[in-house]
């Protein structure tokens, strides 16, 4: 399942939505992680219906074209849960970890921790690569400006690592003893 398919399915756990509402709700909730274009959302929804993961129904409107609204099917719910619980160690899109964590409310208790641990390891691997590049400033054209931008990357990764520590602490505090 693609990131967009998983995220659109995830947005449907909040109830029946039109494509427009999914895109708008994403802007108000997960936009700091994942921001789809409306065309992406509209393209994915029929595929989710075709594969049995969502159902659609038409709502008649006056002075406007009828609109389609979508909701999760039981298969869609199970598929979303499996997607959230599956840890991808080298994803094509780094947003996958926090995006799946966002939807962990439908998954097993261990899913959030597993996503967070995998995200932390991914961040650590990236940081090690960036720090290695910083130690070789003269190689491969890494001079002043590239080093400056590389500093942006390392600072961002360190902040994300600090966040994983905070999030892990919050998860441990929330878990029933």
Contact 42, 61 (CB under 8 A): no
pTM of the model: 0.85
Number of domains in the chain: 2
State pLDDT tens for residues 8-54: 999 999 999 999 999 999 888 888 888 888 899 999 999 999 999 99
Same domain, 60 and 118: no
SS3 55: strand
Q: 65: burial class by Cβ within 10 Å (0-12, 13-18, 19+)?
A: exposed
Domain range for 159 is: 108-177
Hey, how many other C-beta atoms are within 10 angstroms of the C-beta on 53? 24
Q: Are residues 77 and 137 in the same domain?
A: no
CATH number of the domain where residue 79 is located:
1.10.10.10
Q: For each of the chain's 177 residues, which pLDDT tens digit applies? A: 888 999 999 999 999 999 999 999 988 888 888 888 889 999 999 999 999 999 999 998 888 888 999 999 999 999 999 999 999 988 888 889 999 999 999 998 799 999 999 999 999 999 999 998 887 766 655 577 888 888 999 999 999 999 999 999 999 888 654
pLDDT score, position 177: 44
CA angle 30, 173, 34 (to 5 degrees): 10
My answer on whether 114 and 172 are in the same domain is: yes
């Amino acid at each position: 399942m693609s990131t967009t398919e998983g995220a659109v399915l995830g947005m449907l756990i909040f109830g029946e939505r039109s494509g427009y509402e999914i895109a708008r709700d994403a802007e108000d909730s997960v936009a700091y992680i994942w921001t789809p274009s409306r065309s992406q959302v509209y393209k994915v929804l029929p595929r989710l219906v075709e594969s049995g993961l969502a159902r659609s129904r038409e709502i008649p409107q006056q002075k406007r074209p009828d609109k389609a609204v979508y909701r999760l099917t039981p298969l869609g719910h199970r598929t979303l849960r499996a997607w959230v619980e599956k840890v991808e160690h080298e994803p094509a899109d780094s947003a996958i970890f926090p995006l799946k964590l966002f939807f962990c409310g439908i998954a097993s208790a261990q899913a959030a921790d597993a996503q967070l641990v995998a995200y932390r390891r991914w961040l650590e691997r990236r940081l090690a690569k960036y720090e290695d590049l910083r130690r070789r400033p003269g190689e491969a054209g890494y001079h002043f400006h590239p080093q400056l931008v590389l500093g942006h990357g390392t600072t961002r990764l360190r902040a994300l690592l600090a966040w994983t520590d905070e999030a892990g602490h919050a998860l441990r505090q929330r878990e029933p003893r």
